[in-house]
Chain A
Amino acid sequence: MAVLLLAEVTSGELNMDATAKAVTAAAKLGDVTVLCAGASAKAAADQAATIAGVAKVLCAEGDSLGHRLAEATADLIVGMAGDYSHICAPATTDAKNIMPRVAALLDVMVISDAMGVVDADTFERPIYAGNAVQTVKSTDAKKVITFRTTGFELAGTGNAAPVAMVDAPAASGLSTWVEDKVAASDRPELTSAGIVVSGGRGVGSEEQFALIEGLADKLGAAVGASRAAVDSGYAPNDWQVGQTGKVVAPELYIAVGISGAIQHLAGMKDSKVIVAINKDEEAPIFQVADYGLVADLFEAVPELTSKL
């Protein structure tokens, strides 16, 4: 079977981690063709061609495909859908914007956030904020899937798949880009970082979140936050870890001042080692933590940062 995988390309750059993990998932279904689309996408396509397991790379460049706008990218995919049994993407915000649109245009259901591939028709996905796992079998002729990448290993590199250019569709005229507010950061990207330090409501304020950032920087870690911390304005939205935010599975996850609401656990419980620092010894986060420290974070975090 032939599988089309929409690579995660943002401002011309390939998100290697998300794309290479999605390749691992897609390779279980058949021969993988990767599509890199954007206002500029050639460099991303050349990089995607190095991912092991990729049979072919298609590159579509055009202004209509820039700035994450869903309409033209969906049209591009639908136009080439006839050649593929499965159309998939890593479950990023961009893919979640585009893939349901693709599915509806093809009159099929989308399978969102698949975390396991049972067979070519059957997938496992989390429901109820990760409180249950549903195995669904698609009866549609064509499957449209987004993969939750934490469920799949990173594919290797060293490949040299052929890259072919394809035409970009015309702009839909429906949506236009105004501006991006993307915080520049030297820290690793949250979903691919080896270590993540997250703060919760217990951190208390935006200023005090500097404690979390200080510990993260000492460890070379990404910074995350609970929904409560984001809703309270202590941390920006793209730091949110949880069912409705980002799903992470680093080697080490340090939860500071996070009680451990189920929707937060859904976003980090596949981490290899979990550390919880919380002054409430009854906090649910301790039920999933490998190492729990019952302590005042305002004392424990500076001490930890200084001793590392």
Chain B
Amino acid sequence: MKVLVPVKRVIDYNVKVRVKADGSGVDLANVKMSMNPFDEIAVEEAIRLKEAGKAEEVIAVSIGVKQAQETLRTALAMGADRAILVVAADDVHQDIEPLAVAKILAKVVAEENPGLVICGKQAIDNDMNATGQMLSALLGWSQATFASELAVEGDHAVVTREVDGGLQTIKVQMPAIVTVDLRLNEPRYASLPNIMKAKKKPLDEKTAADYGVDVTPRLSVVKTTEPGTRKAGVKVGSVDELIAKLKDEAGVI
């Protein structure tokens, strides 16, 4: 079985996000970029399936700007076998929407025939939480979102999902789409020898046009602004003072 893992190049988790003064978006020029943290968990899970003998090949795919090949090299260094880069934008500020990404992924799936596609549940830039579900819809496959446990057993997968109220376990027919949540695993760091080896692993480069997919956004961004901020209040000196403030000043207890 092949496992396909879509990975997205996003602003690094630790970088402070700055909204551009003209309201046109978030400043991504000269900012450290990394693999979306949820996608790292997806790559890790795919590699573990291979190590457990449940998968033969792990293919990482990224859709976006040319620079996303760095993200794919990271996936290869972690242990993916090969990578596919689909160039769909020239400008790092252009985000390819989940619907377009899902359409391109559906074409890649048709070529590669994976038994499983493992996606991060959301990207930390647009926070849409949509690509996996959309891909599943387009393919007519089963979907198991927000996974915190995944077991592949023959022609199906048993997935525990993080849902409101607790956890839910479902069984999905393969081929299937699984989107992963934070608690599924702890992704490994790529070792230096593996980073060197990754440079020699195959990385195919395609374009959105090769797949005949129109990536024109359906949502046009009118403006991007700083969120409303709260002012810091006062420091209280004791528990008694805190209770007094909450009772008399705020009136909330």
B29 at interface by CB-CB < 8 Å: no
Q: Bound complex: CA of A5 vs CA of B138, how far in Å?
A: 23
Contact with B along A93-106 (1 / 0, CB 8 A): 11011111111110
A-B contact count (CB 8 A): 261
- B230 touching A269, Cβ below 8 Å: yes
Which residues from 155 to 200 on chain A have a C-beta closer than 8 Å to any C-beta of chain B? Answer: 172-183, 191, 195
Distance (whole angstroms) from the CB of A206 to the closest CB of chain B: 15
B154 at interface by CB-CB < 8 Å: no
A61 at interface by CB-CB < 8 Å: no
Which residues from 135 to 186 on chain B have a C-beta closer than 8 Å to any C-beta of chain A? Answer: 135-138, 141-146, 148, 158, 162-173, 176, 181-183
In the complex, the chain A residue whose C-beta lies closest to that of B183 is A237
Distance (whole angstroms) from the CB of B151 to the closest CB of chain A: 11
- B252 touching A272, Cβ below 8 Å: yes
- A128 touching B235, Cβ below 8 Å: no
In the complex, the chain B residue whose C-beta lies closest to that of A8 is B164
Q: How many positions in chain A have a CB within 8 Å of any CB in the partner chain?
A: 92
List of B residues within 8 angstroms of A125 by Cβ: 127
List of A residues within 8 angstroms of B117 by Cβ: none
In the complex, the chain A residue whose C-beta lies closest to that of B179 is A97
Contact with B along A283-308 (1 / 0, CB 8 A): 00011111111110000100110011
- Which of B1-9, B61-69, B95-103, B193-201 touches A? B95-103
- A304 touching B243, Cβ below 8 Å: yes
Q: Bound complex: CA of A294 vs CA of B238, how far in Å?
A: 9
In the complex, the chain B residue whose C-beta lies closest to that of A106 is B137
Q: A97-B133, A175-B173 are in contact. Are A104 and B240 (CB under 8 A)?
A: no
What is the interface of chain A mostly: helix, strand, loop, or mixed? mixed
- B234 touching A291, Cβ below 8 Å: yes
Binding site for A on B (CB under 8 A): 11, 17, 19, 26, 97-99, 102, 121-122, 124-138, 141-146, 148, 158, 162-173, 176, 181-183, 217-227, 230, 232-236, 238-240, 242-243, 245-246, 250, 252-253
Offer 16 A-B interface pairs, CB within 8 angstroms, sorted by A. Answer: A94-B164, A97-B133, A113-B127, A127-B26, A132-B17, A135-B224, A179-B168, A182-B165, A183-B165, A195-B253, A237-B166, A238-B162, A243-B127, A286-B235, A292-B233, A300-B239
